[in-house]
Structure 1
Amino acid sequence: MPKPLSVSSTTMRLRHIEVFHAVMQAGSLSGAASLLNISQPAASKMLAQAEHSLGVALFKRLPSGLKPTPEAMLLFQETKTLHASLDRVRHLARNLASHPGGMLRIGCIPSLGLSLVPRAVAAFTRLCPEVSINIRTENQQTLSALLLAQEIDIGIAFEPAAMAGIAIEELGRARAVLFGAGSDWPAKAPVHLRELDLSKWISLDSMDPLGSIVNATLAGFDESGRVPMIQVKTYYLARALVESGIGFTIIDEYTAQSAADTFAVRQLEPALSVGVCMMTSMSHAGTQGLKVFVEQLEKQLARIQSLQASELRAQAT
């Protein structure tokens, strides 16, 4: 069995590693040369130099082409990690050079991109009309990667997982609400979890922050151990399935509020909520514009929560 190879312990030059990695990706010297924008003889020469520096044959030369040796497969695992790191460095360098001080780059999960974030952006533009804004919606893991590469200035998500280099701060809470056909719950009063028919439940993945809260709470009211009718990974798919006439779901209030009026949105007993958090890079000092935007986010969340409290008081009377 071949011994594990470590790129850091070899005398291979970075250019040799690039050629090797390109050959593994393209499957041929001609393909690697095209990827690197060099001639095929140059690629062949550098690959031979790489093998010489290692003292190990990385490919078998066959009439059908190059076949990676077991040592090459081990080395490829290392170079994939190295190239991913180099790509992040290139992205970071490009953003450091081109990022103007008058731009605010916002990333958020899709659920917050249809309601909360647009409201905060509208308020921000009235205060800072000279700042241009770039907004993108991504999942939480992608937002973290974008922050580390300094491709966005702030990420907004539901209770993101901790990650080295990322600062996380809760700005407010988002309610979990019941979403289904209006005929299922004719009254507008809150619905208790024990009243739900879980055979019609469309659940969120337990790895999702809100899904974890909802699933754990429902398990406490259902001793039969029934599994949901359908399990999905995104809030919008859960909502779309309900809109197609399938069951009910429990999702965040922002996703539910953007649905058609023909569907019912009901409060839950007991009330459930998930934290709305901002993520920022620990290595990147926030601009004044970013601070103003965060203030507007907090104000919008406070306004929404105030309206919710008023609704609950009205239902109680």
Structure 2
Amino acid sequence: MAKIEDMPDVSLRLLEIFAAMMRCSTTVETAEFLGVSQPAVSAGLRQLENQLGITLFERTGRRLQPTAEARDLFEEIRPLFGLLRSFSTRARDMRSGRVGRLRVIATPPLGYSVGPKALRAFLADRPNVTVSYDVRRLSNVLEAIETGQADVGLILNAEKLETVNSEIVQRSQMVVLLPEDDPLAEQSTIAAEDLKGRQIVGIDQASQLGRLVAKGFALGSAPYEPQIEVRYCQTAAALVADGMGLTVVDPYSAQPYLQRGLVARPFMPACEIRASVLTRKGVPHSSTLLGFMEAIRAHINA
């Protein structure tokens, strides 16, 4: 086992430069991000490489490309900066005299539907609680919960999660959102094969919900060939509302458009989705967090 005196004496400042360089493309961009000079960034990277005895970046043209070793080390220290941001946020809240603070992060379907309703009810009798509320992609939500940057996450998920606590608060299924005067709107359910030859607004198949829809079409032995593909279900719903065809989305994203000339019908074969509340493993729930989670349960089933 290596002795403590043999360990490299790496400062947080050098790690901060390294982490910023991993997110940026050049030392100039890194310097602008950190608010330091470009030579300071270059010197810091050289110092870190000397201390570790590892090459972290290789120059390719005007850019520095991280080595495989750099990528591995970055994954090791990524949670550290989440913890430091969390520490700074809590210290700022104490300094300003705030009694309580809740940090919420959600993916768009719940972040723009159930989340705001639950938050309004939650804050009604908690005037001294302040809230940070953010809507991001699923990968960002998971990272924020894992590293402690957020207290609670709200997501739609079709796959098992191992790195966070996950509580399912409602099970639902994907729906077809289409104009109310469309002949298919007369059906109680709409099968994948019913959509052959129709103009479909699809969800990015790099996302969980996009993969789920594509799998549904495959199980229904129907081709899935969206003419338009978007990242978020809300975007797909907005395009359908503007006369761009039909789409298969989650019911939360469809809900705001049901009073605007559109209807939703269950998509078959059924594609189950789970509305879940995420919290960090190994961290006790505060009374503030428990209160918000109770508000989510109440409003998602209302």
**What are the superposed Cα offsets for residues 136-195 of structure 1, whole Å, 9 maximum, x if unpaired?**
111111111112232221100001755554101100123422212333137555233132
Give distance in 1, aligned partners of 2:87 and 2:185.
57
Going from structure 1 to structure 2, the CA distance change for 1:182 and 1:145 (only over 3 Å counts) comes to same
Q: Quote the Cα distance in structure 1 between the aligned partners of 2:212 and 2:58.
A: 51
1:218-257 alignment, distance < 5 Å: 218-222=217-221, 225-257=223-255
Runs of 5+ consecutive residues of structure 2 not aligned to the other structure:
none
Alpha-carbon distance in 2 for matches of 1:274, 1:289: 27
Structure 1 equivalent of residue 105 of structure 2: 107
- Give the Cα–Cα distance (whole angstroms) in 1 for the partners of residues 271 and 109 of structure 2: 17
Q: Which amino acid aligns with 2:182?
A: D
2:149 is the alignment partner of 1:122: no
Residue type of the partner of 1:13?
Answer: D
Q: Which moved more, 1:186-195 or 1:275-284?
A: 186-195
Q: Which residue of 2 aligns with 1:183?
A: 181
Residue in structure 1 matched with residue 133 of structure 2 by the alignment: 135
Secondary structure, aligned partner of 1:239 = helix
CA–CA separation in structure 1 for the residues paired with 2:78 and 2:216 = 39
Q: TM-score, normalised on structure 2?
A: 0.73
Residue 203 of structure 2 is matched in structure 1 by 204
What's the secondary structure of 1:144's corresponding residue?
helix
Distance across 1 between alignment mates of 2:52 and 2:212: 55
Please name the residue that 2:10 is paired with. 14
2:9/2:51 contact within 8 Å kept: no
Structure 1 length-normalised TM: 0.70
Select which of 80, 87, 111 maps to 1:93.
87
CA contact (8 A) 2:166 2:278 kept: yes
Looking at structure 2, the residues matched to 142 and 231 of structure 1 have their Cα atoms a distance apart, in angstroms, of 21
8 Å contact kept, 1:188–1:266: no
Shift of 1:87: 2.3
8 Å CA contact retained: 2:10, 2:48? no
Q: What CA RMSD, in Å, does the superposition of the two structures yield over aligned residues?
A: 4.3
Contact persistence 2:151–2:279 (CA under 8 A): yes
Q: Distance in 1 between matches of 2:266 and 2:38?
A: 66
Amino acid at match of 1:200: Q
When residues 198 and 170 of structure 1 are mapped into structure 2, their CA distance, relative to the original with a 3 A threshold, is farther
Q: Which residue of 2 aligns with 1:5?
A: none
Q: Does the CA contact (< 8 Å) of 1:171 and 1:277 recur in 2?
A: yes
Shift of 1:23: 8.7
CA pair 20-290 structure 1, distance change in 2 beyond 3 A: closer
2:289 aligned residue:
290
Residue of structure 1 equivalent to 2:300: 301
- Cα distance, 1:279 vs structure 2: 0.4
Which of the pair has more CA radius of gyration? 1
Contact 2:175 2:266 in 1 (8 A): yes
Q: What is the one-letter code of the residue matched to 2:295?
A: Q
Over 3 Å counting, the alpha-carbon distance change for 1:222 and 1:13 in structure 2 is: same
Count of residues paired in the alignment:
285
Conservation of the 8 A alpha-carbon contact between 2:83 and 2:148: no
Whether the 8 Å CA contact 1:182–1:262 is kept in 2: the answer is no
Q: Which amino acid aligns with 1:139?
A: R
Identical columns (%):
18
CA positional deviation for 1:205: 3.4
CA contact (8 A) 1:106 1:152 kept: yes
